[in-house]
Amino acid sequence: MVADGHADGTVGKALDVLDMVARHGRPVRFSDLLAQSAYPKATLYRLLQTLTHQGMLTLDPDQGTYALGVRLVRLAHAAWAQSSLAPIARPYLDELAAKTGETIHLAQLDQGQVLYVDKRNAAKPVEMFAQAGKVGPAYCTGVGKAMLAWLSPEALEAALARQSFYRHTANTLVSPEQLKAELQEIRARGHAFDREEHEVGIICCAVPILSRAGRVMGALSVTSTTARHSLESLGALAPTIRDIAARIAAEAESWRFPEQA
Amino acid sequence: MVADGHADGTVGKALDVLDMVARHGRPVRFSDLLAQSAYPKATLYRLLQTLTHQGMLTLDPDQGTYALGVRLVRLAHAAWAQSSLAPIARPYLDELAAKTGETIHLAQLDQGQVLYVDKRNAAKPVEMFAQAGKVGPAYCTGVGKAMLAWLSPEALEAALARQSFYRHTANTLVSPEQLKAELQEIRARGHAFDREEHEVGIICCAVPILSRAGRVMGALSVTSTTARHSLESLGALAPTIRDIAARIAAEAESWRFPEQA
DNA sequence: AGACTAAGTTTCAAATAGTGAAACCAGACG
DNA sequence: CGTCTGGTTTCACTATTTGAAACTTAGTCT
């Protein structure tokens, strides 16, 4: 990605390199990275060295390939436990999954994208990391729209600017205008639907998780297939979902306060 | 922690700050961080700003507290999937758990510490993130000793320097000398025991996961209680564990090769 | 109110750390 | 053997980082 307007300082560059390695998904050779990066050989080399030395990357000496380091896994543990709603929401997700018997998603907004932080898979037991951590588009998913709908005007603009508006299906909303109209409806209704906008046959009903102050903390959704549910029957679940979302919000907030004096 | 001998460059400092936030476990105020960090006010301030700007941290504007950011969760996903043995080892852990009916640990070495990357909990189903990602000491755990035993002399020294040698129980090995002697035995025997060295009543049998070249990739252990098992009966499982470890190693290695030409 | 204090933010010259073109080295290849 | 290709190191040049101190809020006390 060439996006990042301002890669502030060395730290920004280093993190950029980290992302680059992460994006590859498997061990990368120096020259592969060099080909993609905008940085000159020596710079990239030093950056990689620093990151490796710091344990954020590991260098396989045999193949000369870089991969993400274990230090990240450690940080991950902390990040997931503290920054996201996931640990708090866990029992509530279980409850919602039990009640509905459908797939549950818990997501947060990250740079205009939907980041799934937890999931319940109707049939199968938890599969945490393998599924959580994934990112998806905001403009054409239930959780995405639910979060966008309650964003402040400025935040919304920033987020909209990052949407691709790629037409995944016939129902995908492909312009900011269409989307804004839909967001207004969502706000009025209190919950968002995914009308097969991302994948044909997949529908969902999503509600935002809002702080008392009205800040968007995340979103919660129940997903199903057109074979098993209609939008109406999913909509009937909305009160239940909203209730769970409210309880998650309440707990998340009470959790932030008890700082040590 | 004031450990890190050489916090190379700005990147090192930034990551150090990240760790600091992670260590706290909950949103931290600027001044709290300032109290702990060795860095002067302005420096710390700028580092925090950069990290926040980069999405590695999030600043709660209401409370003025910093927490780990979502970008980290995203990286985490990639890190866990690519850098750790966990995704590869998963089915094998299931197999081992089924065979033994005991608690299984999969760990890797991170800066001289044991990092648990996956776990099977005899009774309960997977609890990924809640458990994986934790760190523990190397000198007094089965997996730790199993990994140390196959380290190169230099790497071993580096790792030893990072051990606290705190006496957790009467059986804890509390000096590098004792530990080195033990490591030699472990190497000869092919597997390590935890003889209640970390917690009374908890024993385990661990084997290293080695690459073909002999590099330590991780370790695998079966843990039990003195109530259910003796060291001998655990030792009887060693061949099974070693077999699984070998299969994990084999798959991990074959996985590294298929680079795109 | 007005003076104090604590917490966070900004400044600015000095110093440090980062840059990158080019030279270098090592092993693979023909 | 020369010649590559991929990786590592040098070194003079520069941009970034540094941190003491000054400043700005937002509370608190009298």
Domain limits of chain B?
A: 9-73, 83-256
Q: A54-63, A120-129, B128-137, B183-192: lowest mean pLDDT where? A: A120-129
Interchain pair A54, B8: CB under 8 A: yes
Residues contacting B164, CB < 8 A, separation 6+: B137, B139
Q: Which amino acid is at A169?
A: T
Q: What's the fold here for domain B9-73? A: Arc Repressor Mutant, subunit A (1.10.10)
Return the pLDDT at B167.
95
Give residues 211 to 230 of A whose Cβ lies within 8 Å of B.
213
Q: Above pLDDT 90, what percent of chain B?
A: 53
Residues 6 or more apart from B242 whose CB is under 8 A from it? Answer: B190, B191, B207
Q: What is the second-level CATH architecture of the domain A83-256?
A: 2-Layer Sandwich (3.30)
Residues 6+ apart with CB under 8 A from A130: B81, B87
Spatial strand order in the sheet of A103-110: A135-136, A113-120, A103-110, A216-225, A202-210, A192-195
Bases of chain D within 7 A of a CB of the protein: 6-10, 16-22
Distance A43 CA to D7 C1' (A): 13
Give Dmax (Cα) for chain A: 60
Q: Minimal CA–CA distance to A103: which of A24, A27, A199?
A: A199
Q: Do A126 and B130 touch (CB under 8 A)?
A: no
pLDDT class for A195, splitting at 50, 70, 90?
Answer: very high
> Residue A4 pLDDT > 50, yes or no?
no
Strand order in the sheet with A57-60: A28-29, A65-68, A57-60
Averaged pLDDT score across all residues of chain A: 85
* A14:B11 CB<8 A: yes
* A122-174 pLDDT tens trace: 654 434 343 566 778 999 999 999 999 999 888 899 899 989 999 999 999 99
Reduce the DSSP state of residue A79 to 3 states and report it.
Answer: helix
Give the span between the Cα atoms of A15 and A13, in whole angstroms.
5
Distance of CA A56 to the CA centre of its chain: 22
**pLDDT on residue B255:** 61
CB atoms within 10 A of CB B215: 18
Report residue B60 as tokens: 């709660």
* Mean predicted lDDT score pLDDT of chain B: 85
Q: CA-to-CA distance for B161 and B159, rounded, in angstroms? A: 5
- Protein CA B205 to sugar C1' C1 (Å): 73
